[in-house]
Amino acid sequence: MPQYKLYYFNLRGWAEPARQLFKLAHVEFEDVRIENGTPEWGALKPKTPFGQLPFLSVDGFEIPQSAAILRYLAKKFGYAGKTSEEEAWVDAIVDQFKDFVTPLRQLIMAQRSGNAEEIERIQKEVFAPARDTFFKILNGILEKSKSGFLVGDGVTWADLVIADILTTMEMLGVFDKHGEEQKLAALREKVNEIPEIKEHNSSRPDSVV
């Protein structure tokens, strides 16, 4: 096994599904957590491949961008889909998630601003329509799923990405697991009940994102 080092901030954020993939596959890795705004990050930033985190080091070979890291690990460990067509659907779901991140980020920025009027405007005009579109797509996929997972008959990195974003949304107050989104809540529970994930999640540092 190569020596893996995953560099990210001390957050779940863009790196959490990668940490979970290592746990699922029982592969050792160094979980390097860097505090944002510190001299340590200032010194590291210009040495990273794209000037940003996360990046993954595989025996010193560096891979930037979270989805690229996740796909690389998922393929190595067997969580990328079992056929080319399953891989394409996993990729498509994650791309759809990436499209959803822009409005989600706008909501997070509005919430951080503390401006109640702006929060309401972004929530109503930007975030809610994007969430409805995204959830409709995911629900449509889950309605047809026989396994309860998003693609094929087992867990893939798309499930990890979606389960994690639902947790972020719950923490931000925009996902109600007891509400209408039963199928999505069930998917998250299914992911989080996998023993390796359950153990990992129960021992990780708390963070909203």
Choose which of 32, 92, 119, 185 interacts with a second copy (CB under 8 A). 92
Name the token pair of 49. 């491949």
Q: Residue 3 CB, nearest distance to a second copy (Å)?
A: 15
Q: Which residue from 27, 32, 34, 63 is in contact with a second copy, where contact means CB under 8 A? A: 63
Shortest Cβ distance from residue 70 to a second copy (Å)?
9
Q: What's the min distance (Å) between Cβ of 69 and a second copy? A: 7
Checking 76-79 for CB contacts under 8 A at 24+ apart, the result is 76/25, 77/21, 77/24, 77/25, 77/27, 78/25, 79/21, 79/24, 79/25, 79/154, 79/155, 79/156, 79/157, 79/160
Q: What residues numbered 138-197 form the site for a second copy, per CB under 8 A?
A: none
H or E element: which one contains 46? none
Looking at residue 147, the DSSP 8-state letter turns out to be S
Contact call for residue 82 and a second copy (CB under 8 A): no
Judging by DSSP bridges, how do beta strands 30-34 and 4-9 pair with one another? parallel
Residue 13 touches a second copy, criterion: CB under 8 A: no
Among 30, 35, 95, 153, binds a second copy (CB under 8 A): 95
Q: Is 61 in the site for a second copy (CB under 8 A)?
A: yes
Q: What is the sign, positive or negative, of the torsion defined by CA atoms of 191, 204, 181, 134?
A: negative
Of 15-23, 95-103, 108-116, 184-192, the segment contacting a second copy by CB under 8 A is: 95-103
Collapsing DSSP states into helix, strand and coil, what is residue 81?
A: coil
Name which of 34 and 137 has its Cβ closer to a second copy. Answer: 137
Q: Which stretch binds a second copy (CB under 8 A): 82-90, 118-126, 149-157, 190-198?
A: 82-90
C-alpha dist (Å) from residue 138 to 18, 105, 108, 201: 21, 19, 22, 23
Q: How far is the CB of 105 from a second copy (least distance, A)?
A: 9
d(CA 64, CA 58): 11
Q: Does 49 bind a second copy (CB under 8 A)?
A: yes
